[in-house]
Amino acid sequence: MDEKDFEGSLVLERLAEIGKVEDFLDAIGADDVERAVSLMKRAKVDRATISVVVKKMQETDGEH
């Protein structure tokens, strides 16, 4: 899972508003679900979207 999975997404738009896109992508790259969720919550991403992102992270765990 990487940046191309989120291009043009609400998640990146919200994270950009708080200046945390790079931190989020670092968390994704490190499979740090807790950090990614924390950043999305700070960016006011809705729960349903957070759940989808977590599910995708878990599905791709170890595949990069």
Q: For residue range 16-63, what is the model confidence (pLDDT) as tens digits?
A: 999 999 999 999 999 999 999 999 999 999 999 899 889 888 887 655
Give me the pLDDT at residue 61, please: 66
Please identify which residue in the block is written with the tokens 């977590």: 54
**Domain boundary assignment for the chain:** 3-59
Reported residue count of the chain is 64
pTM attached to this predicted model: 0.82
Q: Is 9 helix (H, G, I), strand (E, B) or coil?
A: coil
Write the single-letter amino acid at 60.
T
pLDDT band at 1 (very low <50, low <70, confident <90, very high): low
Residue 2: closest CA among 27, 33, 19: 27
Residues 6 or more apart in contact with residue 40 via CB below 8 angstroms = 11, 14, 15, 24, 49, 50, 53
Give me the pLDDT at residue 8, please: 57
pLDDT in tens, 5-25: 565 588 999 999 999 999 999
Please identify which residue in the block is written with the tokens 């790079």: 22
